[in-house]
Structure 1
Amino acid sequence: MTRDRSVLPRRGMLLAGLAAPFVIPRAARAAERVTFVLNWTAAADHCPYYLAKAQGWYEKAGLDVTIEAGRGSGASAQRVAAGTAQLGIADMPTALLARSRGGNLAAVMTVYANSPQTFYWLRSSGISGPRDFPGRSVGNPPGDAARIMWPVFARRVGIDPASVRFVNIAPPAKIPSLKSKVIDITTDFWNEHDLKAREFGADLGFQRWSDLGLNSYGNSIIANGDVLAKQPDLVRSFVRVSQRAFAATVADPQPALRALFAAVSGLDDWTQQRQWERVKELMRDPTTTSVALGAFDAARMRADYDLIQSQFEGAQPFDLDKAYTNAFLDTGTKMAAA
């Protein structure tokens, strides 16, 4: 693991309520086993969960949490809906689409209040923007949220959704595949931007979805519907401990990054430090700074629901109020305003 200690992020504000008790310890009872599936391979955006596990916060809340790597939001939503993982992370529109198709899941905390979705390409390939995508190849994993939501993006920029060819590649292969020209375009989250900027310099072209008005909620914690109904205390404990961990990491990311490095190999400081700084940007909006860290805004959720219903054939109507909740959040913990 390469460590560049010359680069350190500025320390964030200590969030309100950070020191307050979040859950009542249940040490007298046997710990409840929880499988928590990530949306992707572990990186800085997941380090708060590793902090909570390393510090024993989940354990003190009566939870025996196993964190599993994911293969995209579509795949994690499927696992949570099927009950092979009680909890997981998925891009919010992807989770809503799964719900519209009968998926037994609901969102209980947002992590990315802003969409992280971004397309990347090399300017030397002749691509100057999304209008040049037709006839090109896009490389990403089959369960990637960007692939699932591609028709929405394509229609927004005025191109035929069927005009590109998708190529299946693993998450670590995105940069090498773009560099070797195996693919023309790839997708990734904005928090991964600095690594690509360092690799490709001025040749890097990119388009953030949010800059086109496609600012749906991003990564969110989702729960299996049966678990939510039958084990609400389990969900509440996990959410509040996770809130506490995110608040602590915003205040000082170093312990969380150390916990991540101890649990996951192949990561370097330079990338993860910068990634976390962009994660904080994605977490911050008027709702997370005034209501609670992780809180959803009802109007924005309605807009995400309407987007799914209008853009995807076969999406069935459902009760949006049952597809997400802020009920498990500690309102004493808020995202720092800056």
Structure 2
Amino acid sequence: MTQDAFASLAAPLALDRGPAWANRFAVAPLTNMQSHPDGTLSDDEYAWLVRRAQGGFGMVMTCASHVSQEGQAFSGQLAAWDDRFLPGLTRLASGIRDAGSTAALQLHHGGRRADASLSGVPVLAPVDDPAKGARALTTAEVERVIADFVAAAVRAERAGFHGVEVHGAHGYLICQFLSPRNDRSDRYGGSFENRARMLWEILRGIRAATGPDFQLGLRLTPERNGIPLAEARALAADVLAADLLDYLDMSLWDAFKETYEEEHRDRLLIDHFTGLPRGATRLGVAGKIGSASDAAWCLEHGADFVLIGAGAILHHDFPSLALADPAFRLAHPKPREHFVRESVGPAFLDYLAADWDDFVV
């Protein structure tokens, strides 16, 4: 870690639109299961996110918020598919802004990973998937889901968020469309161009429907979802060059790893993306960034900012701790009392204890 890279972590990050972020640390969009069963904001979710803004993160992003009723993928998921959710979204955006951070709402649709027992409506996906109980969206339904993403972004702007991030990663609906497994026969399947069409129409639609200072981000993941690295890199290059995004969030799972694909192991996975021309679009990376030196290393390798997941759960003030001590590094597991002090609500804490290895004592 060079001194320059460490110092740059504290530098503001100017974006093409909207406010500059106070530093290079962002809260990763984390499933936390703390909203009410109907998708409205709870006090626990409000406290969890606002506490991170108070802890010094330059940008605070919500969990994946579903834009269509049928898109709900997990219990306690924040919803953005109807105006009934505006009061809670407005309260949340205001709390994050008042704490001095930039506020972003992540927009999501579960696709075949949605849960009909939670949403109360059938599961829809790019293609039929009997094993998941999902049927293929009609062309008209694809167009409706695109409109749902745009409407949710407009709703987020009305609520006072500085911007939104479109969730195109981790095997959810947009990622399912991007996959070569999407062999639809209409204009939304088959070729790489067709498989990416839904994403492009969402991005263009949001940009056209929101104001000139509204920030637009996109989360992509290059591995583990059936998408070849060459296609992931080509898509990233295209969106970086398109002047639609303010930032691209690459979820690498592990920011320090090699690619799984043998033919591309000439360089680290992060380097396949930080080397792309990006114009004014900022590039962030996520994946096992657990120390000040980890974050600085990512900036040394060409990232503009880092997204912090586990660190944000363990320490609401991760940026302050990292910037105060170049040797700072996460240590876990921690007792349940530690997470309570860090404003992790009971539902989130139970999820962490059950599903996160070596995290909660």
More helix by share: 1
Q: Could you say which TM-score interval applies, normalised by the shorter chain?
A: under 0.3
Higher relative contact order (CA 8 A, sep 6+): 1
TM-score, normalised on structure 1?
A: 0.27
For normalisation by structure 2, the TM-score amounts to 0.26
